[in-house]
Amino acid sequence: MKNIILPLALATSATVFAAKPSKPNIILILADDLGYSDLGSYGSEIQTPNLDKLASEGTRFKEFYNNSISAPTRASLLTGQYQHKAGVGYFSDNLGLPAYQGYLNQESLTLGEVLQTAGYKTLSSGKWHVSGVVDGKEVSNPWQRGFDRSLYANNGSYFDQGDYVAENKDKKDADVIEPFRSRKIPYRLDGKPYPLEAGSYYQTDVITDKAVEFIGEESKQDKPFFLYLAYTAPHWPLHARPEDIAKYKGKYNIGWDELRKQRFERQKQLGIIDADFNISQKNEDVYNWSKLSFDQKQLWASKMEVYAAMVDRLDQGVGRVLEQLRKLKIDDNTLIVFISDNGAPAEDLVKWHDGAIRNSGPVGTIGSYESQSKNWSYASNTPFRDFKDYVYEGGISSPFIAWYPGKIKAGTITKGTGHIIDIAPTFYELAGAKYPKKYKDIIPNELVGKSLLPVLLGKQTEVQRTEPLFWERAGNRAVRLGKWKLETHYPSYAWELYDVETDRGETKNVAAQNHDIVSQLSQKYFEWAQKTGVVDFGELESKEPITMKKFRESKLQDVVRGGF
Amino acid sequence: MKLNNIRNYFTAGKTGLLTTGLVVAANTQAAAPKESKPNIIMIMVDDLGFSDVGPYGASEIQTPNIDKLAKEGIRFRQFYNNSISAPTRSSLITGQYQHKAGVGYFNVNLGLPAYQGFLNKESLTFGEVLHEAGYTTLLSGKWHVGDDKDQWPNQRGFDQFFGFIGGASNYYNIGEKGRNEVALIKNNKPYQLDQGKYLTQEIANNAIEFLDEQNKEQKPFFLYLAFNAPHWPLQALPQDIEKYKGKYTIGWDSLRQIRFENAKKLGVVSPDQKLTRHDDAVKPWNKLTYDEQQLWQRRQEVYAAMIDRVDQEIGRVLAKLKELKKDDNTLIVFISDNGAQGGNGTSIYTQRNTGPVGSAGSYETQNSNWSQTGNSPLRNYKATPYEGGISAPFIAWYPGKIKAGTITDGIGHLIDLAPTFYELAGAKYPTAYHGVKTNALPGKSLLPVLTGKNDIVQRAEPLFWERGGNKAVREGKWKYVSVFPENKDELYDIESDRAENNNVADKYPEIVAGLKAKYADWAKKNDVVDYNKLRPKVVNQLNSQSQKRDIF
């Protein structure tokens, strides 16, 4: 960090001299496309003993929000800004406007940058998805944005790096689907190519390996560390280790309708949702399991077996990280937070690609490239409505587990109503890091979230904030203030209003009965939108890459013909 | 053929009251030397595509018995049906165009004489005519030309009947309690298919039983052996499916090509013909996921097993013929009621879903995916008048009468079979029957072609098709096609383009106009109603019967 200007260098020195053991290590674990109910501690049948342990020894939020899709979520999470403010208002695509440039701007400091100033060793292992290319130069990669060590990975095959180069080589760049377009060398270690031999590894394990390795190396230094452990799992393609898949053979023959019921019941028993929770209505596009042919059931069940195995392996990775902490005897001074970047997805990968791009093996193997589609995601997002990419609760709700032995009371479940913009203030408060007023000649954007510490430490049951929470993604808009949630889904501009205190399943639109609330919240939305640089999606839609339009189309399942 | 004497008797008998005359004729025949009248077996299979048996290109499906019939008999390159079950069956059984027989649309009553959904009295069945000609008339299999009991086979000229009345049937566990499925009937009485028994075998069992019983009579027989296989649901015997495990890994796109090449080598498709254009609605095989490929392969394995079983059962019937020493005096004809079934809908909901495809717990279809292969190299599917919809294999076997290993163009049609059988049986088609004036037969006897005198059927009139607004006319090398609801004129030169790849309607407007005029004349004579007018009735009928599963 040769370029650090003097005041910050001083600040860094100051923190180093502060009482060393008082600064906790921080691990932020981010799962990818994991639905609200996909962990044991949130109602799942998937074996996640390590995350369940964190939950039982820590706290869980009933309500924790993300931005409904990967890059915008990561932009907010890494910077503490709303995504548009950080430059990632739409996705990792550059739509030609500052709020939509598709990579983190310099005014939005990352967790890495700020925690470095507080004397932390900053480590990142996993998916990034908020970098870009400017004038042929890569910008805003982890090694460029405050991370001392980084393993850089992307979504794609979990077994090899061939999907960009080999399978799309004859396609025009514009036709290559996100996220492969920007990826020429899938893995980077501290910014340098990190080639891995196809078939010799499994991505989740690579990410875990590097995390464990980084912790081991950095703990030798007398510095606290911050680890951003951003798993690509269980994001498609559905790839998993055979031994993990074997654990789930036959487990999903009950189908998504029954699975959702079972998860719903467990969630009530766990206390994650209230006993009188109003479960969301079934998305009409989701197939009726009981009517499917036996062969169709088999075909679908095997997809969920793989998905479960992916979550299982992620949990095993968390277990290995915990083991490392214990080994290094730093497990009593580490905060771990676990969240997911968005709800489980609706997109059908094979449809998106106009057919299978790999078909030499069954789902789960290197010869496959599939997604679980909305049928299973409907169960993953129990008890909520809809999916990733939508601002209904199923799209923006995540499990939230925080573990900090001795500081966070074990087994707490609280309302929380946290948001990813709150993570940065939380970590900065805990790390004693002062969010700088100036950084490398740049005046950074103010943080908009609230520290979660009062809630984590049991002083409050939910985050106290004066402003509502806001969402905007590809024209889907939402405002949450108290019990009210106001929202629209593009291309509709008609506001829907839900009382999420009594109807978090979003079954009853009460906009027509509460015109004053609608007016008040919509007004706040437009104020926020203007302040944050949000542009009406109607004006941006023409700039949206065709692949993203096809991505959206792929979410519509084929209509089932009655017939025979 | 020593039929002249019989014919004279038959004609003489007509001088009295018709019915009496026929009885006399029948008695006379019984006394005639047994072997003088050939037995006839009409084998019909269901939804089997042009290339779905060995002699027409399906080298991967084992059909040794059908192969033997083809090798020892004659094959037509061109033989037409009416593109869908009930209309085909009504033509086959009566020798009439389907509208004339009352089944212009389907086995649903649309309230018009040409669309009443069951055979009218004016159109005599080959059961009725051949019974009167002294034959024992037997039917084992599917009927589909009259739902009500008074229209069942035993009431329409068949001495013995086993089978089902409607359009489709499960092959296992038929008539299960609580399910709206087709029950089996034997001579007007309900018939229970025991658990584990398979319908194709049961159809053959009954046919064989009928042949044994009939053997006690000093009469020739006519057996209409109407297998419903390989029509959906795809259900087959495990041991038959086993034979085809892994046989379809190459997928439908490659197999379509292979079948075409096979058909050319065999000579059932002329070497200068082309493969029809790929149906865009069929997903390229290499775009399927591995698991989807597995799923679809299994369907075709079952489909092949169903055909294989039909062949095995034909083998048993042939063995019975030999045992009864009738194999040297029997004509066997083999055809299919229409092309292989098309459709691309997401039929993932099925009425049975407790077991994998092929088992009693499944109810799957092969869809256009495999049917495009089944109909290779021809265009389109069942229910349209493109060649893939209305073409079927045609095999005729008659040792000593038909020259072995012959392949000819033929250009035969369903309406030609009744005249063929009647000529062979020395049966005079009556002008009145039970006091009702009968419809005249529009077809031509195939005997001149079968016996090698002609290469194609000599007819003065074109062939015509109409079904659900889909129309076609075939005259010489030309074929006019118009498909609902586009209703655009299409013209194909079948001689050079049987694949119907090149519509030359714009190039030959006068040919189009001529064929359309002939169509209009035929439609008028056959009481064909403009489908736009008929359609509301069809929709109403289908809606009111939507709970019934057996209408197709």
User: A329: domain CATH number?
Assistant: 3.40.720.10
Order the strands of the A412-419 sheet from edge to edge: A192-193, A188-189, A149-153, A121-127, A225-230, A25-31, A334-340, A400-403, A59-65, A412-419
Place of tokens 């008695």: B27
Residues 6+ apart with CB under 8 A from B43: B225, B226, B227, B314, B332, B333, B334, B335
- What is the per-residue pLDDT for A7? 42
A355 to chain B, closest Cα gap in Å: 4
Q: Sorting pLDDT into bands at 50, 70 and 90, what band is B343?
A: confident
Lowest mean pLDDT among A162-166, B77-81, B487-491: A162-166
In chain A, which residues have their Cβ closer than 8 Å to the Cβ of B359?
A: 294
- What is the per-residue pLDDT for B543? 74
In chain B, which residues have their Cβ closer than 8 Å to the Cβ of A369?
A: 289
pLDDT in tens, B94-137: 999 999 999 999 999 999 999 999 999 999 999 999 999 999 99
What one-character DSSP code corresponds to residue B89? Answer: H
Lowest mean pLDDT among A36-45, A142-151, B5-14, B278-287: B5-14
B347/A564 CB distance under 8 A = yes
- What is the per-residue pLDDT for A161? 81
- What is the per-residue pLDDT for B94? 98
pLDDT at B16 over 90: no
Contact between B55 and B237 (Cβ < 8 Å): no
Q: Which of A295, A302, A357, A359 to mutate to test the interface with B (most CBs of B within 10 A)?
A: A295
B291/A363 CB distance under 8 A = yes
Contact between B84 and B469 (Cβ < 8 Å): no
B292/A299 CB distance under 8 A = yes
Q: Per the domain annotation, does A472 fall within a domain?
A: no
In chain B, which residues have their Cβ closer than 8 Å to the Cβ of A562?
A: 349, 546
- What is the per-residue pLDDT for A220? 82
Question: A368 CB near a chain B CB, below 8 Å?
Answer: yes
B291/A368 CB distance under 8 A = yes
B347/A363 CB distance under 8 A = no
A353 to chain B, closest Cα gap in Å: 9
- What is the per-residue pLDDT for B240? 98
What tokens were used for A345? 């997805």
A562/B357 CB distance under 8 A = no
Q: Per the domain annotation, does A453 fall within a domain?
A: yes
Mean pLDDT of chain B: 91
Q: Give me the number of domains chain A comprises.
A: 1
Task: Quote the CA–CA distance of B111 and A418 in Å, as a whole number.
Answer: 68
B349/A293 CB distance under 8 A = yes
Q: Which of B231, B252, B292, B349 to mutate to test the interface with A (most CBs of A within 10 A)?
A: B349
A564/B354 CB distance under 8 A = no
What is the rounded average pLDDT of the residues B341-360?
A: 89
What is the rounded average pLDDT of the residues B184-190?
A: 96
Question: Which CATH class, in words, describes the domain spanning B37-461?
Answer: alpha beta
* Higher-confidence position of B4 and B304: B304
A295/B298 CB distance under 8 A = yes
A354/B365 CB distance under 8 A = no
**Cis peptide preceding B448, ω within 30 of 0:** no
Q: Which of B289, B296, B341 to mutate to test the interface with A (most CBs of A within 10 A)?
A: B289
- What is the per-residue pLDDT for B182? 59
What residues in chain A have per-residue pLDDT under 50?
A: 1-20, 164-170, 173-184, 563
Question: A350 CB near a chain B CB, below 8 Å?
Answer: yes
What is the rounded average pLDDT of the residues B519-530?
A: 97
Is the four-CA dihedral B396, B398, B404, B408 of positive or negative sign? negative
- One-letter amino acid identity for A563? G
List A residues 294-333 in contact with B (Cβ-Cβ < 8 A): 294-299, 302
Q: Sorting pLDDT into bands at 50, 70 and 90, what band is B202?
A: very high
B347 to chain A, closest Cα gap in Å: 6
A286 to chain B, closest Cα gap in Å: 12
Size of interface A-B (CB pairs under 8 A): 103
Residue-number span of the structural domain to which A193 is assigned: 6-467
What one-character DSSP code corresponds to residue B391? Answer: B
pLDDT in tens, B372-425: 999 999 999 999 999 999 999 999 999 999 999 999 999 999 999 999 999 999
Q: Per the domain annotation, does A365 fall within a domain?
A: yes
Domain boundaries, chain B: 1-36, 37-461
Q: Which residues are paired to B134 by β-bridges?
A: none
A556 to chain B, closest Cα gap in Å: 13
In chain A, which residues have their Cβ closer than 8 Å to the Cβ of B343?
A: 561, 563
A560/B349 CB distance under 8 A = yes
B363/A288 CB distance under 8 A = no
pLDDT in tens, B144-167: 999 999 999 999 999 999 999 999
Place of tokens 């609230």: A450
ipTM of the complex model: 0.90
